[in-house]
Amino acid sequence: MKVLITGANGQLGRALVKRLQGCQILALGSADMDITDCKKTFQTIVSYRPEAVIHAAAYTSVDAAETDVHLAYAVNAIGTQNVAAACLECRAKLVYVSTDYVFDGLLGRAYHEFDQTNPQSVYGKSKLAGERLARHIVNRLFIVRTSWLYGDGNNFVKTMLRLGQEKEELRVVNDQYGCPTNVADLAGVIVQLIEGKRYGVYHAANFGVTTWFDFARKIFALTGNQQIRLLPQSTSELGRPAPRPAYSPLHNFMLELTYGQQMRPWEEALNEYLAI
């Protein structure tokens, strides 16, 4: 299959390139194709004539987006519109990667694909805008919502490992719940989806629920760091600019319904990541 990947220098993009080794792929970073450039995006995608486009590029700085509203929407909404328009032209399947931050976190249980969205942050709103624009333009669409990613790039696991070397004591948020997800597992699900035609919205997160605090505790336990003292901290104490959902674990209901499968537990996926 001929596949074009946007955001190829990002965490998920790198995992996709690895996963699709042996396939015919065009992997593009922002220097190759700025997705906010409508004409260039259209020309680049249409001239390659991919069978599938995996759109992993995004403005991902959740806090900065609160003040950088224009750019967040330009990339996440209009950039997606540009990519989708090119997919329509060359009849390519499109995967749009989205986020648990499209939910408000107030439901009190894990969110499935048929639950109501209600993003609270600019990042979440701009990602939902991308979902909607993609839906307006293409039918052969997979919207894949995921959460708390870690892989090859800047992420929470790497931050904890670095701080674990520098500090004796660390305060970590213990009132936000979600599903940490290994990008290698997510890439596997995306590749499986594009091989079929079961279009729709999919949640794809490693199984199980945790807090950032317990996630950190597990990282240090698995790497044998017994010296670090972890202290729980509330979201309001941390005082970050962007509101985050308090409880936004993703239930991979569509994967269960269509493929009868679940993703492996987050602890197992983390263990493998740390062992590499």
Ligand X SMILES: NC(=O)c1ccc[n+]([C@@H]2O[C@H](COP(=O)([O-])OP(=O)(O)OC[C@H]3O[C@@H](n4cnc5c(N)ncnc54)[C@H](OP(=O)(O)O)[C@@H]3O)[C@@H](O)[C@H]2O)c1
Name the residues that contact ligand X, by CB under 6 A: 6-7, 9-13, 29-31, 34-36, 56-60, 75, 79, 97, 99, 127, 146-149, 153
Output the smallest distance, CB 115 to ligand X, in A. 16
Cβ closest to ligand X, residue 35 vs residue 87: 35
Cβ closest to ligand X, residue 44 vs residue 174: 44
Output the smallest distance, CB 216 to ligand X, in A. 15
- Catalytic-labelled residue, pool 59, 123, 202, 247: 123
Output the smallest distance, CB 272 to ligand X, in A. 18
| Among 214, 48, 202, 42, CA closest to 27 | 48
Output the smallest distance, CB 227 to ligand X, in A. 27
Output the smallest distance, CB 11 to ligand X, in A. 4
Q: What is the 3-state secondary structure (H, E, C) of the chain?
A: CEEEEECCCCHHHHHHHHHCCCCEEEEECCCCCCCCCHHHHHHHHHHHCCCEEEECCCCCCCCHHHCCHHHHHHHHHHHHHHHHHHHHHHCCEEEEEEEHHHCCCCCCCCECCCCCCCCCCHHHHHHHHHHHHHHHHCCCEEEEEECCEECCCCCHHHHHHHHHHHCCEEEEECCCEECCEEHHHHHHHHHHHHHCCCCEEEECCCECCEEHHHHHHHHHHHCCCCCCEEEEECHHHHCCCCCCCCECCECCHHHHHHHCCCCCEHHHHHHHHHHC
123 is catalytic: yes
Cβ closest to ligand X, residue 21 vs residue 226: 21
Cβ closest to ligand X, residue 27 vs residue 228: 27
Cβ closest to ligand X, residue 146 vs residue 176: 146
> What is the set of active-site residues?
123
